A and B are shown apart, each in its own frame.
Chain A
Amino acid sequence: MLDFISQPWPWYVAGTLIGLTVPTLLILGNKAFGISSSLRHICAACVPAKLPFFSYDWRKESWNLWFVGGVVIGGFIGGTLLKNPAALTIAPDTLRDLQALGVRDFASGLMPTDIFSWGNLFTAKGLLFFVIGGFLVGFGTRYAGGCTSGHAIMGLSNLQWPSLVATISFMAGGFAMTHLILPYLMRWVM
């Protein structure tokens, strides 16, 4: 059983379970699935700076912080206790492209440690992958009013056309970055 769970789960299992989060949160307390709001609540709780955007009672939304706290613990369980012992299978074309861009670690796990490690924090890699990338995720999701969970999953589930606009924009931005910008940036930092 544990062997079975330790293997990577297929997309239809994962998709079904992630989709079921939508009714679970609604039935548990009429909560709309959305994760990027947690970043706003953290700002409102820690550094509101009298900005109107952060002047609200974040405690009323604190379920969201409990939820993301759980995601960290779930990440720990999934990444250690239920860790897949085998190396990640990466599509050959992606592997070849990333090799050409200077990525070397394809075997250690879910992330290439030649990018995602503390040793890179104060390097150009750290600036690009942690600081700039993270900033764009936080700024962009709030500007868009949601992320993959709030717009792509919750919004599309509720047949909201603004969420379709947002989802298409997410994907367009991702394609543009991956194909037009990131190759140049990676040649510079790797």
Chain B
Amino acid sequence: MISEQPRIQTKAPVRPKSANWKFSLVGIFFGIVFVKAEVISWFRIQEMFRLDSFHMYGVIGTAVLVGMISLQLIKRFNIKTVQGDPISVAPKQFSKGQIYGGLLFGFGWAITGACPGPLFAQIGAGYSVVAVTLLSAIAGTWVYGAIQRKLPH
């Protein structure tokens, strides 16, 4: 009991506890969209990789377009966060991992029918066995962390 005290104290100055729950509201909204647009469907991913349906291309394409316009507006009008802080997005550094890792993720995406976001939504939507897939994905992330330095980047 007493040992918990300092942990709480070191946590508090970083960010007040109440600040994070709003992100779960965004997550809830996002999860609903995922299910209702059938983005989490294994069948939709199969259709996408078989070029039999435009649906997923439309979803991702529109999302990129809307995201792009939003970011341009944020930059142009120097929009701040609700706390009044400046908004900045770190640039992505190129590494060969984007190719090797990207291909491996693509393999997994085609098998599971899910990228990481849909894994969470599938579990919520009632496919509880996907929790095993999620655990395996966590294990995969851990193994990457363990052997990272031995891999080409």
Interface positions of A (Cβ within 8 A of B): 5, 8-33, 35-36, 38-40, 42-43, 47, 49, 51, 53-54, 57, 59-60, 62-64, 66-80, 82, 84, 88, 90-94, 97-98, 106, 109-112, 115-118, 120-121, 126, 128-149, 151-163, 165-179, 181-182, 185
User: What residue of chain A has the Cβ atom nearest to residue B15's Cβ?
Assistant: A60
Given that A11-B55, A43-B145 are known contacts, is A18 also in contact with B132, CB under 8 Å in the complex? no
**Interface majority SS (helix, strand, loop, mixed), chain B:** helix
CB of B63, distance to nearest CB on chain A (Å): 4
**Interface majority SS (helix, strand, loop, mixed), chain A:** helix
Inter-subunit contact B50/A172 (CB<8 Å): no
Inter-subunit contact A93/B50 (CB<8 Å): yes
CB of B87, distance to nearest CB on chain A (Å): 5
Inter-subunit contact B106/A74 (CB<8 Å): no
Q: A132-B111, A140-B105 are in contact. List 12 more A-B contacts (CB 8 A).
A: A18-B30, A42-B138, A70-B24, A72-B27, A72-B123, A94-B43, A153-B64, A156-B64, A160-B91, A166-B99, A169-B105, A174-B48
Q: Scan residues 77-126 of chain B and give those whose CB is less than 8 A from a CB of chain A.
A: 79, 81-83, 85-95, 97-117, 119-126
CB of A123, distance to nearest CB on chain B (Å): 12
Interface range, B side: 35 or more
Which residue of B31, B53, B102 is within 8 Å of A72 (Cβ)?
B31
B76 in the interface, Cβ–Cβ < 8 Å? Answer: no
Which residue of B11, B111, B120, B127 is within 8 Å of A136 (Cβ)?
B111
